Structure 1
Amino acid sequence: MAHIDYYFATLSPFTYLAGGKLEDIAARHRASVTYKPLDVMALFARTGGTAPKDRHPSRMEYRAQELIRMAKKLDMPLTLKPAHWPTNPAPSSYAIIAAQKAGGGDLGALAFSFLRACWAEEKNIAEDAVVRDCLSAAGFDPALADSGLLTGAETYAANLEEAVAQGVFGSPFYVTDSGQRFWGQDRLEDLDLHLAGKL
């Protein structure tokens, strides 16, 4: 059975625009997925990237246009300048890590709920109440927001180190067990074709 390591940041608009496509692809190919939330700003610093705030205005203007176009094509609501962005991504990331360990809910729905909360619902995903609501809506015990914080922090840091070692440099990023890497929500079709043996 194929496996996908899914590296992503809960603050990434491009990860939000991926929606539930990864989960659909994984189900179609009976592939397992390990969710690996990470600090994308630290990843940029480690792999030659530039944080959005430090990018040239022309790059930021193009990014804004691209996000609006993609959201329209996908018919997804998107707030270009969310009220709570950037915010601390650690609480939402720790919740995903704890939920993955606990099992029993829909991990894909949980990850997407944080992304949607940030980019479409004007919620602060660093707030305890938002984290609890997202956990509950995805079928997990909201008390996971309070458990395994040390393990969450350790795994979150380990995900970053593993990402750098695997050649990951952005979010979303998909790495298969065959060593193929796919960067961006616009490469999900290629991931699908690869798992089908066509690419």
Structure 2
Amino acid sequence: MIQSIRIFTFSLLIALVMAQDGSGKYNGYDAPKYKVLERSTKGYELREYEETNWVATIGKTKRGMFWKLFRYIMGNNKDGSRIDMTVPVAIKFEPMETTPENITMHFFLPKSNNPTPLDSQVFLTSFPKFKVYVRRYTGFSGEQQQRTNLNMLKMAVGRENYNTDYYFFSGYDSPFKFFNRRNEVWLMAKQTTT
């Protein structure tokens, strides 16, 4: 009886957490809206995202890219306007199979009309509606955890189903959050480009 109650409580908790996904909010932050098309027993989801807007920069170090984008949302833009922090911070790595030569960091922008960046290395971009395979994991995500989860996702999805040119890592939490962190690796479904 106690075991049944524990299982029911755990299942209810998981259902509540999963119900929040895709709503356009995560822990009080604006996030892109999506719907889950498939939840695989192999540990991934297939999601469909609505068209989204982003501010981005290309670079070699995550810290340098982050601060360029952070300055943009703090007012280093044509209007001098501040924009609330959003999630995820999405990083595109290409090529996928070797040491990435191009790394692009993105901050999600909830509005479609955004001020022009003042920094010439920062730019506005948008992704049309797209489908993506996602593997979610917790903890602090270093390069090793990212690669491990990416490889698990690639094996589960099958090479014939995703774009092999690049992948994304998406982080949802502040570096000051120590527990229940949300990290994801994304593979673009074939016939989807960003």
TM-score range, shorter chain: under 0.3
Normalization by structure 2: what TM-score?
Answer: 0.26
Which structure has the bigger radius of gyration?
2
Normalization by structure 1: what TM-score?
Answer: 0.26
Q: Which structure has more RCO (C-alpha within 8 Å, separation ≥ 6)? A: 1
**Greater share of helix:** 1
